[in-house]
Amino acid sequence: MEQATYQGYALPRLEALFRNPGLAIFIVAFGWGIQHIALPLMIDWKFMLFRFLSFLPLASVMALVYLKKRRLIPFIIAYWAVDFLGVISGIIMPILIK
């Protein structure tokens, strides 16, 4: 859903509005970073800043690639795979640690 919102909807509209792909990419990456500062929820400003800053490069590259290719499905599949691996590792790791 994030790809559809940020890349499929917001990014092209911001690019058309500002007529500046760099600014559109920055706004989308900023929003994506803000969205991820509290996952997992830890009320620690250093951790939250780290989470925000760690998402900026990935979100920027993904937005740049999307503007060049204009294909959303590969991003949706890749993001789903990463989320799936996170869930699986969250299930398997506690079992392996015991």
Q: pTM (2 decimals)?
A: 0.79
Residue with tokens 């398997």: 92
Q: Which residue has the higher pLDDT, 39 or 14?
A: 14
User: What is the per-residue pLDDT across 19-59, written as a single tens digit (0 to 9) for each?
Assistant: 999 999 999 999 999 998 887 788 889 999 998 999 899 89
| Spatial separation of the C-alpha atoms in residues 23 and 67, rounded to whole Å | 13
Residue with tokens 């937005």: 63
Tokens representing residue 94 in the block: 């506690």
